[in-house]
Structures are given as structure tokens and as C-alpha cells.
Amino acid sequence: MSLQVLVFRNFVFLQVGFPFIYLLFLLSFPVDSGFTTAMVFGLICAIIVDLFYQTLGIHASAAVFIMFIRPTWMKIVVPRSGYESNELSTIGSYGISWFLGYAAPLIFAYCCIVFFVEAGSAQFFWHTITKALVSSVITLVFVVFTQYLFYPKSN
């Protein structure tokens, strides 16, 4: 969380790409965690980001939304071996192809919500979609890279 507000807050790529590295903590939340617990965790994490970004709940609404749809999405993208109890939703646990299929749509949904709410209208639709796509790719790259650096591979 502190990396997001202290370091990654100032990373901007081509004036359209913003990495949201704190999504790693939301996406890797344990598989069998409670629905309410996950949503409250997402809310608290995103409120901290909102305080530092001065965005009045934009990140909180997006984070709560992805934590709300996460259980349904996880039922759709079940790995071949199924989910293990108390296992983190990481590359080390379920593999890179599963993780990309799981995380990319959630990250894109998060970015769309943040940037469309921030824009306040659909007047700059293509610019907003471009920001969401570029930010999603950058965030996904950082999330995957961070997992390979810091998360151990489960056997």
C-alpha cells in the first residue's frame, strides 16, 4: 500500500498509463475468504489510496466493485485442479495463464471505473478507454513482475 501512495503515485506513462500496484493485494486475497471480509479489505485499501490521491472515493468504489464481482469471476475461471483452501490467488498457486485470465478483466474493470468516474462524462470516451487499456496493461505487468519477485511458488 505504501508503495502505491509513495512511489507509484508519480509513475505516469505517456500521460495515459497509471500503475495501480496495490491491486496485487486485492487480487491475491485468499480464495475462500468471506465475501464481506474481501469487500471491506478492498474498501479500506482503496480509501487509503483515495486519501493520498485526493480522489474522493473513486478508487474505493472501483475496488469494492472488483471485490464484489471477484467470487463470481473466480467461479468462471476455475483452474483445472480447482481451488485449494486458504490458498492465495497468485501465479505461484495456479499458474501464469490462469492468473492472466483471472486478473486482466478485473484490472480492466477497475481502471474503467476509475477513469470514467474521473472523466465525469462520455465526452472523451476514446481517450478514457485508452487510459484504461494502457493502465490495465501497465498494472498487470507490474503485478506479474512483483509476484515473480516476492511470492514463492506453491507445489
Q: Which three cell numbers stand for residue 126?
A: 476514446
Which of the four pLDDT bands, split at 50, 70 and 90, describes residue 152?
low
Q: What is the pLDDT of residues 106-145, one digit of tens each?
A: 999 999 999 999 888 878 899 899 999 999 999 999 999 9
pTM, two decimals, is 0.87
What is the average pLDDT across 21-45? 89
Can you list the alpha helix ranges (DSSP code H) found in the chain? 2-6, 23-27, 35-53, 58-76, 91-94, 96-119, 125-150
Does position 6 have pLDDT exceeding 50, yes or no?
no
For residue 60, name the pLDDT band (cuts at 50, 70, 90).
very high
Of 48, 20, 40, nearest to 112 by C-alpha is 20
Q: Where along the chain do its domains lie?
A: 2-9+18-150
